[in-house]
Amino acid sequence: MSDSIEGTVAAATGLQNWNMMQEKDNLLLRKVLDGQSNTILSLVNSVPSVPQLANGGMVGTLLHVTA
């Protein structure tokens, strides 16, 4: 009977250790994903909302249409 109890305790301890490792892995993943999210948000926010069009010069200011 003691072998059964020892086996059960060993299995429970093993599962607790596995669970703790999974939680640490999940925490690391969350930190990495948050860092990537912040990087992407800063890149998206750095793009001007309205594109700046040329208003002088020869390129992009004249439209030549032939019908």
Choose between 11 and 63: higher pLDDT: 11
Position 28 in a domain = yes
**Is 51 part of a structural domain of the chain?**
no
Domain boundaries, position 31: 1-46
**pLDDT at position 60, please?**
63
Classify residue 58: in a domain, yes or no: no
Residue 42 lies in a domain: yes
How many separate domains does the chain show?
1
pLDDT per residue as tens digits for the range 22-38: 999 999 999 999 999 99
| Residue 52 falls inside a structural domain | no
- CA-nearest of 27, 8, 6, 4 to 19 is 27
**Does residue 36 lie within any of the structural domains?**
yes
8, amino acid identity: T
User: What is the SS3 assignment for 31?
Assistant: helix
The answer to whether residue 26 is domain-embedded is: yes
Give pTM, 2 decimals.
0.58
CB 54 within 8 A of CB 47: no
